Structure 1
């Protein structure tokens, strides 16, 4: 906890209206946080933004899987998809697939395969529980490291100021 700031939970009001005891139809703490987060992220919640980014990631994974499959059994299709990927950004999953479908009838088949693979990957292969655990761990470790580095930095400055 940062000195002087209290905990994050304590900094939220119990109710935004209706007094301390929550009477009068105020807004709940969770609802208040979600609305605040939505304002910070523009349209949609942080979860919506994360889901969109995951969709782009899953599309990228599906393209890599399909390329690996094609490389071993359909070299011509592999070269065609590889060429398309080299000139088309994978940063937007929907735009990528839309453009691939419209490229040619053969590319449409590749796009359909990518859509199948990304759907199967999301539903059966992706380790959702592991994602949650890793996310918690990474945030905690990053926070600890940043705070430790800051304390070390400040303590050196204070030591030097104390000596002079």
Structure 2
């Protein structure tokens, strides 16, 4: 097992029981098992080590990281963007396919991008070609057109602005309450 802060650790399978609350975060190894060179007897337990990871522990993602949850949401967003791009292309040169895709969208949710594409592929051979086109556009958009650096800057800016606004609202609210009393 790799630890994000201490390198390789070989933990016994019994350590991974569901009752272990230690193993729920990204940096989850509070104590390590080390194995010495092959010619020596293994040292099974060396005691507690302080967590030296600079990442925050984020509970509640079912073993996944927040980044994987965000990536899943981005994938669904890329599917949505790809559908909009394909619709715009079809509207100008293939109104019949545009109409078919619009009807399909009206009856199927775009909230889960993979499920949407799966259903679209199974609808008919004509819909299958639309689904394959959406998958190609989704891939191309995420790799070439989406501005990842801009996303990071906007996310930082939005969090900072939101924090400032919320703190300002709270201070204003509490000062009004104090003035009323």
Q: CA deviation at 1:24?
A: 4.8
Counterpart in 2 of 1:30? 54
Inter-partner Cα distance in structure 2 for 1:131 and 1:87: 31
Matched, 1:138 2:158: yes
Deviation per residue, 1:100-132 (Å, 9 max, x gap)? 111111111000100000100001110111100
Counterpart in 2 of 1:104? 124
Contact 2:30 2:48 in 1 (8 A): no
Counterpart in 2 of 1:64? 84
Matched, 1:50 2:74: no
Q: CA deviation at 1:28?
A: 2.6
Q: CA deviation at 1:49?
A: 0.5
Contact 2:83 2:134 in 1 (8 A): yes
Inter-partner Cα distance in structure 2 for 1:24 and 1:150: 42
Q: CA deviation at 1:156?
A: 1.4
Contact 1:16 1:28 in 2 (8 A): no
Inter-partner Cα distance in structure 2 for 1:79 and 1:30: 52
Counterpart in 2 of 1:120? 140
Matched, 1:78 2:98: yes
> What's the RMSD between the two structures over aligned residues?
2.0
Matched, 1:92 2:97: no
Inter-partner Cα distance in structure 1 for 2:149 and 2:120: 32
Q: CA deviation at 1:16?
A: 5.8
Matched, 1:158 2:178: yes
Inter-partner Cα distance in structure 2 for 1:160 and 1:94: 54
**Structure 1 stretches of at least 4 aligned residues deviating more than 3 Å after TM superposition:** 23-26
**When the two structures are superposed, what TM-score results if normalisation uses the length of structure 1?**
0.78
Inter-partner Cα distance in structure 2 for 1:27 and 1:93: 38
Inter-partner Cα distance in structure 2 for 1:67 and 1:123: 20
Q: What are structure 2's unaligned runs of at least 5 residues? A: 1-28, 32-46
Inter-partner Cα distance in structure 1 for 2:52 and 2:118: 41
Higher helix share: 1
- Aligned partner of residue 40 in structure 1, secondary structure: coil
Inter-partner Cα distance in structure 1 for 2:30 and 2:179: 44
